[in-house]
Structure 1
Amino acid sequence: MLAAMASSPSSPQAMTAARERGDACPGTLRLHAADDGALARVRVPGGVVTAAQAEALAAAARRLGDGDLHLTSRGNVQLRGLRESCGAELAEVLGAAGLLPAPGHERVRNVVASPLSGLDGRGLRDVRPWLVALDRSLCASGEARELSGRFLFALDDGRGDVAGLGADVTVRATAGGGAVLCLGSTGAVLRVSGDEAPRAAVLAAEVFLATVRASGTLVWRVDELSVSADALASEVRRRLSESGIDVDGAAQREPVDTTGPAPGSSGDALSVHVPLGRLSAAQWGELVGVAAASPSSGELRLTPWRGVVVPVPDLDAPRAATALDRLEAVGLVVDPASPWLRVGACVGRPGCAKSRTDVRADATRALVAVGRAPLPVYWSGCERRCGRPRGDLIDAVAAPDGGYRLTAAVRGRDPRTAPLDDPSHFATALAAIAP
């Protein structure tokens, strides 16, 4: 049946990716050689780490790497500046902390989840049970080991925060205890039982793999498939039915809001933003200290927006203010009006050989002007634009001849571009392209 699928793209944005090699995405057991040393990417499903696991990550960064923890746009953690020969020692440390429950699946445990789920009363469902069930089912699937390290699952509690992050398989809670299963960023939406949603998500991923094998084309993401969205949905529906999961018709995609948690206090949680996603040992230590002070929780939730949510049950205003003061004192952002929430950057020099400049330093120099920009700003050291988020933004890309090219990338409008010779002149260049 798979071989008979139509050959039209699975989404308007899809393009067939005739890749010539396997996915080289780094993990914990497969280190990546960067200019500042080896790099390990530790998958943290849903961004959830216990205080003990957080301390193990910090210890590994201090002993084996540059001492910092680098957050990714999927709520994972990267350790940089590692010795090339430290792989076995790193795996032992992380395995002992429970961060490598299934070594054969360690690169495919890419799951984002609503960070405030169950903490602020806004979601339709607490997705933590979904997260546990999905990770367990994913690690139990022999087929799932073939997924690319770029394949992404999203678990949305109904508020629409992670549903707009372009995951390959998204589960979103609906009223009455149900769920919808979304395929790709714009593909079909199927109604399923909330209780069966995590298993349905893994089965959908297995259908994706079978579709890739049948097509004879190497692709990594659902949106890259050359089959039609309807054909893929039909095959997923058939696979779910065979596995005893009812599909209660199709549904429409609901609105999304991908801004992420605002810094400050919200319900039973504290939220902070991490400037450019880089956490020092002191910052990480303060976060762990706040988490450990709540024994009934004792965890951190790393967000896809390079932030951290700390669950603090029965949080009152005085305790929240004291904790936020501690976190702000070490350089974490607790002010929802901070311009840091509107700026991001790739790692740049000296960590990346392909980067033309130190983009993080330039982003910091332009911070005040960025606060007046009508859109978020993302700084990239080259045209690959690693880590750039989805959505409308100001694209600042380092130019081969020095300086940057600023582009206002707004959906539905022609891009407007201007040169930026020096980050201190950001406001002038911005005025030339402001949408």
Structure 2
Amino acid sequence: MRPSACPGLWRIVQALDGGICRIKLAGGALTADQAEAVAAAAERYASGEIEVTNRGNLQIRGIGCDHSGLIELLLAAGLGPREAAGDDVRNLMLSPTAGIDPQMLLDTRPLAQQVLQSLETTPRFHQLSAKFAVQLDGGEALAMLEHPHDLWLSPLKLDDELWLAFGLAGCPAKDAPLGAVPLSQGHELVLAVLNRFLDLARPEQTRMRQLLAEYAPQAITAGLGLPIRADAAVCQWRRSLTAASYLGIYPQLQTGLSAVGAAAPLGRLNPSMLRGAARLAREQGDGTLRMTPWQSLLLPAIAQRHAERVSESLAQLGLLVSASEQLSRLVACTGSAGCAKGQAETKGDARLLATLLAPGAPASVHLSGCPRSCAMAHVAHATLLAQSPGHYDLYLRDATEPGFGRLRARNLTLKEAGALLDAGSRSTLDD
């Protein structure tokens, strides 16, 4: 396998709390049987810690010495390819409501299946970095549109026909498209862009943003052999954004059905939580679960008359089902308990901070143990960057400032940070 610090199903990376195995799910989806296999693997071969990642995947932490046993159990459940080289590059993010969202313009799952098949089985694409990522947006209301991707695609209508707008090293929420191709050419576009990247990139240029520092975007997209449209109707188009909650009950496109969402507290599940969610999916839904980039899960195809009861059952498992729960607004990395770079025990600090915040606190507060920001791929409304155990610098999101945003205060205790966040929520923190 290519050397990488990123965990995968086949590559178990060592951390302070043991090995980490990342299970890259196809579009964030897995069956109830597969969820139970993950729970069993976490119990049998690791400490029982299961994380939902910010790209809708799962990872098992605290893995002991029997790596092959864990890998074989997961492969037997169909959770990854039998060829190790094809696992790293399966970085394709969809909306967790792909195919069921009332506002979607297209069901992205058939195209996603084509793209994943090509990524897994094309030897040349195995040269891509384990971080190189593609987003396929279908126009859903429930979609993470702020995470940057090396290539993103999003649907728009031109002359009553559906096209796919696309951009490089960015995201649909913020960036203008470089062009658009007919929907039928979406698969060819992805393959052409990936091949062009590999043609042009030097070994040290592993991400599209690095290549764009040397080449203009048009140099990458020119001559792809596709009918790319790049007129004003495309380049001035912007993805419409709708605030939709990933918690609670989300009505589906399909009459009489809803998806029910619940968050893993601080991104962590235990085997009982995952087994309980799998049981509900099997008994009340279609037998599948969908992981989300908000470190949560959805159970689709729940009859609307049963949705409230399913939500209550998820809450009884220890999952968060309402945005009014303070812990649902907090994101924290592994911290010093599991990562050598962490300057504070961010998970425990987040739980304490949740007790200090008054109702109406910011929509998202991110506790990061170091500047790498592993727990969050986009910038939160407020970021607490650890400086030492129990002490953080506070940043507020500001589009004019790089990184975490505008520095608001240094070396705060959690109590001081909570007071500032409360004060900010009553003034301009969420502007």
TM-score category, normalised to shorter length: 0.7 to 0.9
Q: What does residue range 100-119 of structure 1 map to in structure 2 within 5 Å?
A: 100-101=80-81, 102-119=83-100
Q: Which residue of 2 aligns with 1:225?
A: 211
- By how many angstroms is 1:294 displaced? 5.0
Q: Which residue of 1 aligns with 2:190?
A: 201
The counterpart of 1:95, out of the listed 75, 87, 92, is 75
Deviations 1:94-120 (A, max 9, x none): 211111224212111011101112223
- By how many angstroms is 1:227 displaced? 4.8
- By how many angstroms is 1:39 displaced? 0.9
Q: Which residue of 2 aligns with 1:265?
A: 249
Q: Which residue of 1 aligns with 2:154?
A: 172
Partner letter of residue 205 of structure 1?
A: L
- By how many angstroms is 1:271 displaced? 1.3
- By how many angstroms is 1:221 displaced? 1.6
Q: Which residue of 1 aligns with 2:120?
A: 139
How many residues align? The count is 403
Q: What does residue range 44-123 of structure 1 map to in structure 2 within 5 Å?
A: 44-83=25-64, 85-101=65-81, 102-123=83-104
The counterpart of 1:236, out of the listed 221, 226, 239, is 221
1:321 aligns with 2:308: yes
In the superposition, relative to structure 1, how do residues 30 and 282 fare at CA in structure 2: closer, same or farther (>3 Å)?
same
CA distance in 1 between partners of 2:260 and 2:106 (Å): 20
CA distance in 2 between partners of 1:312 and 1:72 (Å): 23
Q: Which residue of 2 aligns with 1:181?
A: 166
Deviations 1:141-192 (A, max 9, x none): 2211011111111111113733432111112122333212222214752211
Q: Which residue of 1 aligns with 2:325?
A: 338
Q: Which residue of 1 aligns with 2:382?
A: 394
1:361 aligns with 2:352: no
- By how many angstroms is 1:410 displaced? 1.6
Q: Which residue of 1 aligns with 2:255?
A: none
- Mean Cα deviation higher: 418-427 or 265-274: 418-427
In the superposition, relative to structure 1, how do residues 187 and 146 fare at CA in structure 2: closer, same or farther (>3 Å)?
farther
CA distance in 2 between partners of 1:227 and 1:381 (Å): 29
SS at match of 1:168: strand
8 Å CA contact 2:343, 2:389 repeated in 1? no
8 Å CA contact 2:343, 2:386 repeated in 1? yes
- By how many angstroms is 1:122 displaced? 1.2
SS at match of 1:49: strand
8 Å CA contact 1:116, 1:261 repeated in 2? no
Deviations 1:216-263 (A, max 9, x none): x5122211224566x444443422x1xxx4323352352364966431
CA distance in 2 between partners of 1:143 and 1:259 (Å): 39
Partner letter of residue 230 of structure 2?
A: G
8 Å CA contact 2:382, 2:397 repeated in 1? yes
Q: Which residue of 1 aligns with 2:273?
A: 283
SS at match of 1:404: strand
Q: Which residue of 2 aligns with 1:406?
A: 394
CA distance in 2 between partners of 1:183 and 1:221 (Å): 10
Partner letter of residue 192 of structure 1?
A: V
CA distance in 1 between partners of 2:421 and 2:245 (Å): 27
In the superposition, relative to structure 1, how do residues 36 and 258 fare at CA in structure 2: closer, same or farther (>3 Å)?
farther
CA distance in 1 between partners of 2:322 and 2:135 (Å): 27
8 Å CA contact 2:6, 2:131 repeated in 1? yes
CA distance in 2 between partners of 1:288 and 1:95 (Å): 19
CA distance in 1 between partners of 2:283 and 2:260 (Å): 13
Deviations 1:257-313 (A, max 9, x none): 496643111123111122211011121112101211257x32111111111111115
- By how many angstroms is 1:392 displaced? 4.6
1:304 aligns with 2:293: yes
Deviations 1:66-104 (A, max 9, x none): 113101111111111101x32222221121111122421
8 Å CA contact 1:370, 1:377 repeated in 2? no
> Does 1 or 2 have the higher relative contact order (CA < 8 Å, sep 6+)?
1
SS at match of 2:266: helix
CA distance in 2 between partners of 1:237 and 1:55 (Å): 47
CA distance in 1 between partners of 2:242 and 2:11 (Å): 31
What is the percentage of aligned positions where both structures have the same residue? 28
SS at match of 2:335: coil
- By how many angstroms is 1:340 displaced? 2.8
- By how many angstroms is 1:335 displaced? 1.4
8 Å CA contact 2:365, 2:380 repeated in 1? no
- Mean Cα deviation higher: 329-338 or 254-263: 254-263
- By how many angstroms is 1:341 displaced? 3.2
Structure 1 portions without partners, runs of 5+: 1-20
In the superposition, relative to structure 1, how do residues 164 and 422 fare at CA in structure 2: closer, same or farther (>3 Å)?
closer
